[in-house]
Structure 1
Amino acid sequence: MSDWEVHAVKYADRDNRTRADSFIFDDNHDAPHAMDYYMWLLRRGDRVILVDTGYDDGEARDRGRPIRIDPQAALAPLGVTPDEVDEIIVTHLHYDHAGGLALFPNAHLHLQAAEMAYATGPCMCHDTLRMPFTAGHVCEAVTRLYRGKLSFHEGDAEIADGVTVHCIGGHSRGLQAVRVRTTAGWLVLASDAAHFYENLWLRKPFPIVVDMEDMLEGFTRLEKLASRRELIVPGHDPLVRKVFPSEVAAHITRLDKGPVREISI
């Protein structure tokens, strides 16, 4: 079978952050450290799979974290409309990854069973663990389940030929990374299993974590899944847009051809 196109679609960013927001162990916690927010689009022929959905204007207002481009409009340069998206891999249910589920009403969701159990279970009694979730997004996933529009996966699973998901955990109990066969080799969309290259390459954990051991072991798992380390794409790193080419629009980065510049951290 043929390989997949993979595009990173940036819809938001936050510049008012420091390295303390990104790394538990760091020598310069007060230094600025920006973050980008992405969705990812996989395409092969007529089949399109969206990985995560971003979040909408209402969530942006509630959290005081503006979006640059509405997730629906952000996909337009790729020739994809919201109604045409019929399949979404949800890496986890945090607001910035599942906050736009309602924007894609026809989509069938792929989710780890562990993530639904986590987002609807006793751990949500703790404010700290509940903070990255929004109840309405979780309820939207439950609604899709009752409409017959959600498939649960346990660990490793094949979504399509050349597209697999792998439960990593750590940042969220049922976080899953996505492995995609491309012309450059096996590419891994880490999502929040590694927010930044530095989390992964220097083994510096991200501060929002439910299981530190899972997070650290997940870094090694990501490296085993990818054909080479440079084909692991972090979930929030602005460096992604510098090392991979931009083709159809300034906010869209082409990943499946591999990086065109050396990754330096």
Structure 2
Amino acid sequence: MSSDDTYKIFVIKYATTNMKRETFFVPPFFPAGEIQFDYYISVIANEKRVILVDTGFREETGGRRGRTLLRCPVESLSLCGFDARQVDDVILTHLHYDHAGNMGCFDSARFHIQQREIEFVTSSMMSSANPNLGGSVESSDVHALVDLIFAGRVNILHGSTELVPGIELHLVGGHTPGQQLVRVKTARGWVILANDTCHYEKNVIDRHPVCAFVDLREMMEGFDKIMHLADGDMSRIIPGHDPIVMQRFPSPDKSLKDIVVRVDLPPVGN
């Protein structure tokens, strides 16, 4: 593989909380109770470019929703040796509040999002407070995206595509209509930044959907797509909120344990 089209991938945990288990694993298949729910952003980088996957939530948004930041998503880039000015591209997997805040902090980046997601967050469905609809979207994030569109800084996608050599975006839908995952070529092969196409790896392993979806059929078909893109290797699938990510992969420094991991490197634990 050429070093020009292989990448390092840093996953940063910027927040955590406990959620009701039945939100993600519907009874009677799993017992009621609480489950740890971590929040991540990812940095994809090589010698040529720095790409951010999702932008996390803003402190004010998190506080209003009962979420507490462990660290600012934008400032946490420094833990990997980067800052917001170096980010060339931002991939927005979807526009839920915990993935699409802080867009205004990246002055020189170009943003990449699916047309179906823009149509969703500007539709009448946003008037519903249901968490599957408008309840998980911040109007201020939608306004920020519209401003970026007017500034000519948004690449609006119409399905799956190769962003640059070694980075593919795949439209999956299900959780939201325009949700996309990111497939990245690394030294150990293709790695899937699944984000909310599977919140926990058990969603894919057991084909068990979460309660948060707009299209159950697309979500279930998405599990098959994820496995296909990963050649059936679960170590290549990075779920969107699963604490196992921090446990399974090596940190770039021992001081960053449970904060930053390198998922382009082979796993070190189960």
- Secondary structure at the residue paired with 2:152? coil
Aligned length: 261
- Scaled by the length of structure 1, the TM-score of the pair is 0.95
Name the residue aligned to 1:117: 119
243, 249, 254: which one pairs with 1:244? 249
Once the two structures are superposed, the pairs formed by residues 90-109 of structure 1 within 5 Å of their partners are 90-109=92-111
221, 224, 229: which one pairs with 1:220? 224
230, 249, 263: which one pairs with 1:255? 263
Any stretches of 5+ residues in structure 2 without a counterpart?
A: none
* Cα distance in structure 1, aligned partners of 2:266 and 2:226: 16
1:13 corresponds to 2:16: yes
Identity over the aligned pairs, expressed in percent?
A: 34
Deviations 1:158-193 (A, max 9, x none): 111100100000001100000000111111000100
* Cα distance in structure 1, aligned partners of 2:201 and 2:148: 33
Deviations 1:50-105 (A, max 9, x none): 00011111112221211100012211121211122231000001000001212223
RMSD across aligned C-alpha pairs, in angstroms? 1.3
Question: What amino acid maps onto 2:238 in structure 1?
Answer: V
Change (3 A) 1:26 1:238: farther
Contact 2:9 2:44 in 1 (8 A): yes
- Scaled by the length of structure 2, the TM-score of the pair is 0.93
124, 131, 135: which one pairs with 1:131? 135
Contact 2:50 2:89 in 1 (8 A): yes
Question: What amino acid maps onto 2:260 in structure 1?
Answer: I
* Cα distance in structure 2, aligned partners of 1:27 and 1:217: 20
Contact 1:25 1:204 in 2 (8 A): no
1:172 corresponds to 2:176: yes
- Secondary structure at the residue paired with 2:125? helix
Name the residue aligned to 1:35: 37
Name the residue aligned to 1:207: 211
* Cα distance in structure 2, aligned partners of 1:101 and 1:176: 18
Contact 2:194 2:239 in 1 (8 A): yes
